A and B are shown apart, each in its own frame.
Chain A
Amino acid sequence: MTISKNSRRDFLKSSGSVVGASWLGINMPLILSASQTAAKNKEAGASFKNISTEESVELSALADQIIPPDETPGASEIGVVYFIDVAFGGFMSNRAPMFRSGLKELQQKVQTAYPDIDRFSELSLEQQTEILKSAEDTPLFGMLHFLTLCGMFCYQATLGIVKMQAGT
């Protein structure tokens, strides 16, 4: 059989073509390692190794926009930021510069729209949503969208959907 092009296109659209290209060329054992390490770091309350505290705050806000908390945990509570931290130290290290430049552009967008506010995380949830709607097609959003879903639902956290299910 052939593999669904439509699904693949959705995947690439969701993850951003830049991510789609790089994601398949990276060292796979490191991904498993990343999810395991991320889970341990989260449990231990470890500090981040590859992102700054400031960046982690922004990532938490961004990831929670993608999978927000409701009656079940959101992305940051699941530990997605720890997953992304480990990813930037390993299999996604070549994408860390893109993350930083993309984040800078996003913050500039925030400052332009809201001159009194410096950072995305300082916006109200509604303001964050509005800003992100205008950034949906950026490589930064594509990459973070994909990493958030991976961190949310991969192996170590693969029961994420089941946990959500249990909340219904």
Chain B
Amino acid sequence: MSTAKGLPKYNTREEVDFVIIGSGAAGGVLAKELSTNAFSVVVLEQGPYRTAADFKHDELDVIFENELLNHPGWNDPQTFRRFETETAVQMQGDPPPAYYARGVGGSSVHFTANYWRFHQSDFKERSLLGPMESTGFADWPISYEELEPYYARVDWECGVSGQPGPFEAPRSRPYPVPPMPVKSSGVLFEQGARAMGLHPQPAPLAILSKPLNGRPACVNCGFCMGFGCEVNAKSSTLASMIPLAEATGRCEIRPLSTVFRIETNDAGRVTEVVYLDSKGQQQAQKAKAVIISANGAETPRLLFLSESSRSPNGLANSSGIVGKYLMGNGHSVTQAAFEHQLNEYKGVQVTRIVHDFYENDPARGFYGGGGMDARPFLDSTPILHALTGLPPGKPTWGPEYKKMLRHYFTRKMSVLGSTTSVPLARNNITLDPNMKDDKGRPAIRMTYMDHADDLAMANFLQDRAVEILGAAGATEIWRDPVEGGTIQAHLLGTCRMGNDPSTSVVDKYHRVHDVPNLFICDGSSFVSSGRGQPTMTIQALAFRAAEHITTFARNGEI
């Protein structure tokens, strides 16, 4: 594991052009773009600098011990409650409510790599559908057409495999590499979906099917979801962007650096970023401008921690909406078993998707839309299969249990439905008033309960999944209950972008309304949730933000 990979080493007392907080899906792109554009860049990452050689097929460490999620230096708990009237508690025995990876590359290291683009409608649903009372339902200040060139850059520069589908918005370039080979789950899902009159398509994935940009193709090891890629075929920023940033000689990646405050001066400009280094020593890096790309939970936390007499409710929070409108994408899981072996434990998770239900349909009686995919899900690794993979009512130990593990492990698949999340002010990230981490920082407190329409959409997709799996010939089908989510891997909307400073935190260029030399670019910038799989859009936003920030800097407008 590398702990000091980046060159050069900037002096903390010398002002660099940019400090980027977070090296994940957005931070990695911004680091590469801005250093390529000749700016000096320091990236502060709270996790370690792992490389492909550090990743492993170890289900215990990675899935059960949260090796990629835990803070590397100290205990950093989180609390959860459904509603603001409740007292938030730490969920003992559960993964953290805000589920993100710490390490260079951030959650792009451990994600499943589903890379749908948003549709045109995602950016303007408020105009298309009208208002939703008591919600933050709003249009984005940008359109799909404005973002499309940057989606294409993600495809080609980060590396996305795929093939255009029937419902996809217009694209300026083809995919750089073809879709991944279809798996048994994809074949069955496609057969079932076509029998239902639907239009299944190959899944776009940020995993290379062919070599691209000096990186190798996937070897189908099967350890994608939750794991780091051991061959760099997964297009994390660790594999795709960070090496290019470092190659400029102008970007220093500073791992094991946990930011806890952004300082501002009397003029209301940020001046330096205060953090604890790998030895637990307090440091402060001076910068001309700061970009926060810490994710939709850590970003608002940091803004709250950076309160001052000028910003008593938190930095960048004159609107009072920092942390609000958290969206996680609802989901449903439908499991099935087949007569013959599927052997889903090999290969990537998802090879076929259905977008027939992506758009809102008033005939359903509720707002929302969603995408569906076929995958092994929790049956791709043996301990999770042993703990969660058998149909309800089966033995959980003994001779029959062992026989069933053997039988079902190779005969299972699941269909996942991913849905819209209505933006609600009551769903939010705040600082916990009681819980602190080992260094005295207030813990992340998540308050979250899905909107009734989100749950209705998840149930709708589950009904369709049952039909598809039945048409595909499943011998057994069972549903995981659709309930409000308590753990969110998609952390969206908590510093939303907009033109009005009273209802948004950043403008359409990701500049904070309140602070001219502070930018925020990550999932927190989202205005709506899409239908799941947000990372493609996070990265497109980052490419676009980098271009505008470069222009501002060159014109002396920061």
Q: Which residue of B lies closest to A15 (CB)?
A: B387
Inter-chain contact B330/A2, CB cutoff 8 Å: yes
CA distance A7 to B21 in the complex (A): 33
Inter-chain contact A2/B328, CB cutoff 8 Å: yes
Contacts of B214 in A (CB 8 A): none
Inter-chain contact B331/A31, CB cutoff 8 Å: no
Contacts of B490 in A (CB 8 A): 1
Is B554 close to A, CB under 8 A? no
CA distance A166 to B488 in the complex (A): 38
Inter-chain contact A145/B388, CB cutoff 8 Å: no
CB distance from A135 to the nearest CB of B (A): 11
Inter-chain contact B93/A145, CB cutoff 8 Å: no
CA distance A160 to B406 in the complex (A): 10
> Which among A2, A7, A20, A149 has the greatest number of chain B C-beta atoms within 10 A?
A2
Known A-B contacts A1-B331, A70-B399, A165-B406; A8 and B67 likewise in contact (beta carbons under 8 Å): no
Is A28 close to B, CB under 8 A? yes
Q: Which residue of B lies closest to A154 (CB)?
A: B60
Is A161 close to B, CB under 8 A? yes
Number of A-B contacts (CB under 8 A): 146
Contacts of A8 in B (CB 8 A): 94-95, 487
Q: What 0/1 pattern do residues 227 to 264 of B give for CB contact below 8 A with A?
A: 00000000000000000000000000000000000000
Other-chain residue from A1, A28, A153, A164 in contact with B383 (beta carbon distance below 8 A): A153
Contacts of A4 in B (CB 8 A): 331, 333, 378, 388, 480
Q: Which residue of B lies closest to A18 (CB)?
A: B93
Q: Which residue of A lies closest to B333 (CB)?
A: A4
Inter-chain contact A1/B387, CB cutoff 8 Å: no
CA distance A10 to B390 in the complex (A): 10
Is A48 close to B, CB under 8 A? no
* Residue total for B at the interface (Cβ-Cβ under 8 A): 52
Within 8 A of A (CB), among B115-161: none
Other-chain residue from A6, A35, A164 in contact with B60 (beta carbon distance below 8 A): A35
Within 8 A of A (CB), among B290-341: 328-331, 333
Other-chain residue from A11, A70, A146, A155 in contact with B57 (beta carbon distance below 8 A): A155
Is A101 close to B, CB under 8 A? no
Contacts of B331 in A (CB 8 A): 1-2, 4
Q: Which residue of A lies closest to B386 (CB)?
A: A149
Contacts of B486 in A (CB 8 A): 2, 5
Inter-chain contact A155/B58, CB cutoff 8 Å: yes
> Which among B93, B402, B487 has the greatest number of chain A C-beta atoms within 10 A?
B93
Known A-B contacts A155-B56, A158-B57; A1 and B396 likewise in contact (beta carbons under 8 Å): no
> Which among B56, B95, B378 has the greatest number of chain A C-beta atoms within 10 A?
B378
Other-chain residue from A2, A28, A165 in contact with B65 (beta carbon distance below 8 A): A28
Other-chain residue from B378, B402, B410, B485 in contact with A2 (beta carbon distance below 8 A): B485
Is A12 close to B, CB under 8 A? yes
CA distance A23 to B94 in the complex (A): 10
Within 8 A of A (CB), among B390-413: 396-399, 401-403, 405-406, 409-410
The contact sample of 7 A-B pairs, CB cut-off 8 A, is A2-B489, A3-B489, A7-B378, A8-B95, A10-B388, A15-B387, A31-B65
Residues in chain A within 8 A of chain B (CB atoms): 1-8, 10-12, 14-15, 17, 20-21, 23-24, 26, 28-29, 31-32, 35, 65-68, 70, 72, 129, 132, 145-146, 149-150, 152-155, 158, 160-161, 164-165, 167-168
Residues in chain B within 8 A of chain A (CB atoms): 56-61, 64-67, 70, 92-95, 99, 328-331, 333, 378, 382-388, 396-399, 401-403, 405-406, 409-410, 416, 418, 480-481, 483, 485-490, 532
